[in-house]
Each structure stands twice: as structure tokens, then as C-alpha cells.
Amino acid sequence: MTNPIIDLPGVIAKSDDADFLRELIQDAAQRLMDIEVAAVCGAAHGERSPDRENQRNGYRPRQWDTRAGTIGLNIPKLRKGSYFPTFLEPRRTAEKALMAVIQEAYIQGVSTRAVDDLVRAMGLSGTSKSQVSRLCEEIDERVQAFLNRPLEGDWPFLWLDATYVKLREGGRIVSMAVIVAVAVNTDGRREILGITVLPSEAETFWADFLRSLTRRGLRGIRMVISDAHEGLKAAARKVLGAGWQRCRVHFQRNLLARTSKTNKPVVSAVVKTVFAEKDRNQAHLRWREVADNLRDRYRDVAELMDEAEHDVLAYMAFDESLRSKLHSTNPLERVNKEIKRRTNVVGIFPNREAVIRLVGALMLEQNDEWAVSRRYMPVEKLTAVCNHDEETAMIAAQ
């Protein structure tokens, strides 16, 4: 059986005073793991027992960062299943990525007060470059495998949106767009297809990103949903041959920006009557009626409505059960909020790779959550969309 008594005199004898606490913690941790593994196996190490349910299968090393310093542990492996010590909290990929970004920023001299406070709070002030390198390599391997995976089957609907972060490049602090692509496959499930960091949202950058998705197998796009970026709209039509849905929420914000504060409630209420229509033709008729009624008092509003009618109402060409998911970029709002929450903690990233590491890890975890959740869209409706070539051609031509 495992000896539960720590040989305290022996630990003191073989350790310098500075290492005493680390040696003590290490010895206690190893013994605790032995006790836990014995309970899992139903027998102690080397013990013959009819109650044995599992066997040990060597060890795997792990570095444990504590306030007493970094401690090397040998975590037992099992022949069946896996074991992780209860006194260690398994780090989620995104949390490890955040730690890597903070460590990298700290080592490269990005010494903002926020980063320093986080480093001290985590007890990582003695982190070495080799530790950072190992941590980053592990994360990058998983993130790159996720971001470069082959895309199989058709993806009828694609959502694209961007959020901005600050990073160091060429000796300057610059603001860059973090692009996220989310799509629904014919099984009705959402997946994050990819991310990228772009200097701007110009057409050439959008086209390069979309081509990278098509090289991985993206196909069957019926409609792209996004904000009103001309570069994105042109790139989607050129690369994907798909129609475009202008985000209804962003459109309403653009519309209200053309009115005074006192008139915003009236204009908003009138425009929303269009979106209450269930029939596509009636929605277009109501749209033109509202635009004409507003033309005398709110000419700028009416002109924007004239310009955006078909882009904002493109989602009406699809079945009513799909429309609530198609009229805006809302499916990406929660994702973007989480990205902003995590990136705001870092403040200024040391490079683009650090952004990809953190955001990619977040998206990997989000994708895993979606994989086990309920379907986002009904399969039978998506099958009808994919088989309805005439309707698809009409939307793409708009």
C-alpha cells in the first residue's frame, strides 16, 4: 500500500532551504495522486486484488505553476480511460491561449499595467521563454488543425462579421480586423469555418479569405449575411457566386443615424412595420409605401431605403421558419462579444500570431459546444433550399 506519511526529515535533508517548500508540495502531490489512482484502480501499485478494475500504464510529465514556483509532476496513466488529479484544474484551450498571450506580451516588453497585474495575479512572474514556447506550440498545433480542417458537403448560409483589436506591427500599434466566418451545413448545424486577421476590410482582403475557405472545400453557398461592406459584397459575389443579405439590425442603425434624436422612435416604429409582413411581395410593397411616406420629411432616410430594399429583404425569399436566423448577423453577436471580452483583457497584442492563438482557441471551444447542441435549422428546410436552383439563382442575381 502507499505510505501516507511524508518523510519530512528526508525532504529537508536533500533540499536547500529555498527549495524546501517546493519539494514538500511535490512529494505531497505525488502521494495524493497515488492515493487517487489506487482508488480508481481498486488496488494499490503492485498489489494483487480481486477488486482491481484498472492498471497503471506509466507516467506523463506535467509542469505545475504554483506560488512556490514551478513543480514537476509525474501524472499516472491508466490502461483504460484517463486520470487527472483532482487538485489540478484542467485548463481549457482558450484559458491556456490567454495565458500564453499574457506571457508572450510580458516577455516581449508590453508592460502595461493590466498585463503586469494579470501576471502577478496568476503567479507567473518567473515564467521563462522556454515555458512560453512549449505552451504556445501546444496551442498552435490544435488551433491550426482546427482552422485548416477540410470542409465537406454544402453550406447554404454563411455569416461574416468583424471585430477590431490592437496589436504591434512594424514598431507601431495598429488596429486590425478579426474576421470570423460561421456557416450552417445541410445537417442544420452551425460551425465556425475560419478566422483571419486583416489590415482592413477592402475587397482584396475579403477575396483572399473567401478563397482560402473555398480551397478547403467550402461550396454550396446560397446567401452571405453580413454588414454593408462593399468590399465584402463584391468579394462574395465574385468568389462564391452567392446572394447577399444586408444585416437588418445594422441597416436600422444606419437608417436612424440619418434622423434627429427626437424623430428616431417614430422612424424606427414605421420601418419595423415592414418586417412584420409575412408575405414577401407584401413586404416589398410596404417597404416602398413607408419610403414614400417618409420622403418629404426625411429625404435621407427614404433614399437609403430606396437603395437597400432588395439587400435588406433578401431573406424573405426563403421559408418563414428560416427567416429569423437569416435577416441579421445576430448568430455571430454572442461570439463577437466573447472575443471582445477576452481580447480586452490583453489590451495590445504582441503580434498577429497571438491574436490567432487566442481567438482560434475560443472558436475551437465554441465549435465544440455547437457540435453537441440542438440543430440550428431544420434539415428538411435546408434540403429544400439546396434543391431549389431557380430560387437560388434569383437571389444570387440580386
Quick: pLDDT tens for 204-220.
999 999 999 999 999 99
Q: Kindly tell me the burial class for residue 281, based on how many C-beta atoms sit within 10 Å of its own C-beta (0-12, 13-18, 19 or more).
A: exposed
Give which of 144, 227, 143, 147 is closest to 195, Cα–Cα. Answer: 147
Tell me how crowded residue 181 is: count the other CB atoms within 10 A of its CB: 24
What range does the domain containing 19 cover? 8-88
* 73, 88, 103 - which closes a domain: 88
Q: Are strands 69-78 and 56-66 parallel, antiparallel or unpaired?
A: antiparallel
149 in a structural domain: yes
Residue 2 lies in a domain: no
Would you say residue 1 lies in a domain? no
Instruction: Mark whether 121 and 230 lie in a shared domain.
Output: yes
Q: Which helix (H) or strand (E) holds 60?
A: strand 56-66
More confident residue, 92 or 252: 252
Q: What is the pLDDT of residue 18?
A: 45
Nearest-CA neighbor of 191 among 397, 349, 368, 388?
Answer: 368
Q: Are residues 25 and 114 in the same domain?
A: no
Q: How far is CA 336 from CA 51, 233, 242, 363, in A?
A: 51, 20, 24, 10
What average pLDDT does the segment 173-192 reach?
A: 94
Q: Are 119 and 233 in a shared domain?
A: yes
Distances (CA, A) of 373 to 212, 326, 377: 28, 19, 12
Last residue of a domain, one of 328, 345, 373: 328
Q: Which CA distances in Å does 50 have to 80, 116, 137, 207, 337?
A: 17, 54, 43, 65, 54
Q: Residue 159, SS3?
A: strand
Q: 240 and 214 in contact (C-beta within 8 Å)?
A: yes
Check: CB of residue 342 under 8 Å from CB of residue 285: no
Q: Summarize the chain as % helix, strand, coil (round to 5).
A: 55, 15, 30
Q: Does pLDDT of 306 surpass 90?
A: yes
The neighbouring-strand residues paired with 63 are 72
User: Does residue 308 share a domain with residue 356?
Assistant: no
Output the pLDDT for position 106: 45
Q: Are 384 and 154 in contact (CB under 8 A)?
A: no
Residue 256 lies in a domain: yes
Displacement of CA 149 from its chain's centroid (Å): 15
Element of type H or E holding 10: helix 8-13
- Residue 114 half-sphere exposure toward CB, CA atoms < 13 A: 11
Residue the block writes with cell 507567473: 124
| pLDDT surpassing 60 at residue 125 | no
Boundary (domain end) residue, out of 63, 88, 113: 88
Same-domain status, 344 and 199: yes
55: in domain: yes
Using pLDDT thresholds of 50, 70 and 90, give the confidence band for residue 372: confident
Enumerate residues 6+ apart whose C-beta is below 8 A from 70. Answer: 63, 64, 126, 131
Cβ–Cβ under 8 Å, residues 151 and 182: no
Which has more pLDDT, 84 or 118?
A: 84
Number of independent structural domains in the chain: 3
Segment among 15-29, 66-80, 229-243, 287-301 with least mean pLDDT: 15-29
CB-based contact 148:363 (threshold 8 Å): no
Instruction: Return d(Cα 310, Cα 95) in angstroms, integer.
Output: 43
| Bridge-based pairing state of the strands 157-169 and 348-349 | parallel
Burial class for 140, CB neighbours closer than 10 Å (0-12, 13-18, 19+): middle
Q: Are residues 159 and 205 in the same domain?
A: yes
Per-residue pLDDT, 312: 96
Measured between alpha carbons, how far apart are the two ends of the chain, in Å?
76
For the segment 229-258, the average pLDDT, to the nearest whole number, is 91
